[in-house]
Amino acid sequence: MTKSVLISGGAGFIGSHLVDRLLRRSDLDRLLVVDNFWTGLRRNLSHIDDPRLRIVECDVERFRSDDRFDEILHMASPASPPWYMREPVRTIKANVGGALNLLDKLAPGGRISFASTSEVYGDPLISPQPESYRGAVDCTGPRSSYDESKRCTESLLFECHRTQGIDVRIVRLFNVYGPRTRPDDGRAVSNFLSQALTTGRLTVYGDGTQSRSWGYVDDIVDALERYFWLDPVDYCGPLNIGNDREIAVIDIARYIAQLIPGVEIDICPPIPQDPTNRRPDLALCRRILPGWEARIGYEQGIARTLDWFRAQVEHGADTHAPGPVRL
């Protein structure tokens, strides 16, 4: 039986990679991308020439259609602090309002998959973080629109599963980077690469000892396609997906600085409530997706991403880092 699939945020960084994977499916009849191009980019999909793909420019929480979809992937949301801190209300609408709206578009027996985040753990007090960890999120703070709208959307979907038997798949993604990140995205790897290729000065916020687990997008999307549609899994989530090799931000900056002659590092005031550490406990992921591993280390992943950023610069794309956020 052929499937109709909707993906919100399909022009975004991770969303557009998922679109490529979805279009490899022979059972896919049509694929609708709903994207408002707030943080997504048309050029992330411009390489695709497939009659099954249709793109609708629309806020996901306002999308109207009489069609019902067999599979829905809810990927619409900014994921970078400068973006969601500038427009927190819009962030909550995209996540929670988007999920509420998409649930009405799901065909009977359909599946809805959702990209949640390691930010549901806040600034974690244990490391690595297993899925059972309840987190340490300040629901009054300047990062809360993202963290809490992801948490609330998880709750919405798990409760739809419990009370209505809806088939859901919820992943918690840990710091993904790679080609198709916006140059003005504002997160560490893309920021450093944009800066290295333009101003030559990398801005590290705080002392740089805050650590992250840097997942190269190809590895992450391998896991997503297996969990969202390829593997016959009977587990609705939450599922941590990421690279569990934990590296400090300053070490990423130093690595990039040594790749490009003349680049220097500036130490800037810390970002409010920047988590001090972040590392996935992948025990469950390895059970649910046997054989999957994040295979690409940061050295190789950054080299590939740098090549992509260089090509962007050569093609004249805007590669400036974002402006400051009012706090």
Binding site for its own copies (CB under 8 A): 86-89, 92-93, 96-97, 100, 103, 120, 122, 134-142, 144-145, 147-149, 151-152, 154-156, 158-160, 162-163, 170, 237-238, 326-327
Mapped to the 3 state alphabet, what secondary structure does 48-69 carry? CCCCCEEEEECCHHHCCCCCCE
Tokens 């101003």, located at residue: 199
User: Is residue 207 exposed (0-12), middle (13-18) or buried (19+ Cβ within 10 Å)?
Assistant: exposed
Q: How far is the CB of 302 from its own copies (least distance, A)?
A: 32
Please, which contacts does 162-166 make with residues 24 or more away whose CB atoms are closer than 8 Å?
166/103, 166/106, 166/110, 166/112
Distances (CA, A) of 214 to 241, 245, 248, 249, 327: 11, 7, 10, 10, 27
Residue count of the chain: 327
Nearer to its own copies, 145 or 211 (CB): 145
Nearer to its own copies, 147 or 219 (CB): 147
Give the C-alpha separation, 59 to 144, whole Å: 21
Q: How far is the CB of 70 from its own copies (least distance, A)?
A: 21
Nearer to its own copies, 24 or 326 (CB): 326
Nearer to its own copies, 119 or 219 (CB): 119
Nearer to its own copies, 26 or 163 (CB): 163
Q: How far is the CB of 280 from its own copies (least distance, A)?
A: 16
Helix (H, G, I), strand (E, B) or coil at 216: strand
Token pair of 244, please? Answer: 């569990």
- Is 298 considered catalytic here? no
Q: How far is the CB of 154 from its own copies (least distance, A)?
A: 5
Selecting among 84, 121, 146, 227, the annotated active-site residue is: 146
* Active centre residues (catalytic): 146
